[in-house]
Structure 1
Amino acid sequence: MLYTYKTIYKYGCKEVEIKRSRFIGHAKPVQNEDEAIEFVNSIKSAHRDATHNVYAYILGERDEVQRYSDDGEPSGTAGVPVLNVIKNEGLKNVAVVVTRYFGGILLGAGGLIRAYVKSAKLGLEAATIVEKILFKSLYITVDYTIFGTVQNELLKNNYIIKNIEYTDKVILTVYVKYDERDDFIKHIINLTNAKSIIKEGNDLYLYKTGDKYLE
Structure 2
Amino acid sequence: MQLKDNYHTIEKPVTDILYKEKNSKFIGFAYPIQHEDEVKHHLESLKKEHFSARHWCYAYQLGTETIRFRANDDGEPNNSAGMPIYGQIQSFDVTNILIVIVRYFGGIKLGVGGLISAYKTAAQMTLEEAIIVEKTIDSHFLLTFDYKNMNKVMRVIKEKNIDIINQKLELDCQIEIATRKKNAEQVFDIFNHLYEVTIQRIDL
Q: Same fold (TM over 0.5)?
A: yes
Identify the residue that residue 43 of structure 1 maps to in structure 2: 46
1:156 maps onto 2:159 in alignment:
yes
Q: Percent identity?
A: 20
Question: d(CA) in 1 for partners of 2:77 and 2:27?
Answer: 13
- Deviation at residue 168 of structure 1 after TM alignment: 4.2
Aligned equivalents of 1:74, 1:141: Cα separation in 2: 58
User: For structure 1, which runs of at least 5 residues remain unmatched after alignment?
Assistant: 205-215
| Deviation for aligned residue 1:136 | 2.1
Aligned CA distance change for structure 1 residues 164 and 116 (closer, same or farther; 3 Å):
closer
Structure 1 length-normalised TM: 0.61
Instruction: Report what 1:25 is aligned to.
Output: 29
1:55 is aligned, of 55, 58, 76, to 58
2-structure distance, mates of 1:64, 1:156: 36
Letter in 1 for 2:177: V
CA contact (8 A) 2:56 2:101 kept: yes
1:138 to 135, 139, 142: 142
1:168-183 correspondence runs (5 A): 168=171, 171-177=174-180, 181=184, 183=186
Check the 8 A contact 2:191/2:199 in 1, yes or no: no
Matched with 1:14 is 15
- Quick one: distance in 2 between partners of 1:64 and 1:175? 24
Offset at residue 157 of structure 1 (A)? 1.4
Q: How many residues align?
A: 193
Deviation at 1:118, TM superposition (A): 0.7
The 8 Å contact of residues 17 and 23 in structure 1, kept in 2 or not, is answered as: yes
1:207 corresponding residue in structure 2? none
Contact between 1:11 and 1:27, CA under 8 Å: does it hold in 2?
Answer: yes
Deviations 1:79-98 (CA, angstroms, capped at 9, x unpaired)? 33311111223344543211
Kept in 1, the 8 Å contact 2:59–2:69? The answer is no
**TM-score normalised according to structure 2 size:** 0.63
* C-alpha RMSD of matched pairs (Å): 4.4
In structure 2, distance between residues paired with 1:118 and 1:178: 33
